[in-house]
Amino acid sequence: MAERLIEPIGKWLIWYATKVGLEYCQGEAEALLIFLVSLDTAVSYYRDKVQMEYLKPVTIAPGEDGYAFRFSRTAAAFCERHESEQGMPRFFDQ
């Protein structure tokens, strides 16, 4: 099976969710901001490319293993890294 291309759209989706979380969610610096569960095939993407913190293995459904990741407020520097690599998004007027 061919690898699915999830960059850069996957990173932009995580960037957006993280920006919204930082803007609207209150909490301590190390408090959970973004939490996601991944299948085995995407673990390296979240760990290595997005640099999310691996938490633990979890059960997604009966007989289906998953892996939990998180961003805390301080670890959400992903937004700054992504913006420096890709630039800032712009709205286009039609």
Q: Is the pLDDT of residue 68 over 90?
A: yes
Q: Is residue 21 part of a domain?
A: no
Question: Does the residue 13 lie in any domain?
Answer: no
Residue 73 inside a domain? The answer is yes
- What pLDDT is attached to residue 94? 63
What does the pLDDT read at residue 1? 41
In a domain, 6, yes or no: no
> Has residue 73 got a pLDDT over 70?
yes
Domain region containing 48: 28-86
Whether the per-residue pLDDT at 85 is higher than 80: the answer is yes
Angle, vertex CA 9, rays to CA 44 and CA 45, nearest 5: 0
Q: How many domains does the chain have?
A: 1
Does residue 6 contact residue 45 with C-beta atoms inside 8 Å? yes
Q: What is the pLDDT of residue 54?
A: 92
**For the segment 10-44, what is each residue's pLDDT rounded down to a tens digit?**
888 888 988 888 888 887 877 888 889 998 888 99
Q: Is the pLDDT of residue 57 over 90?
A: yes
In a domain? residue 63: yes
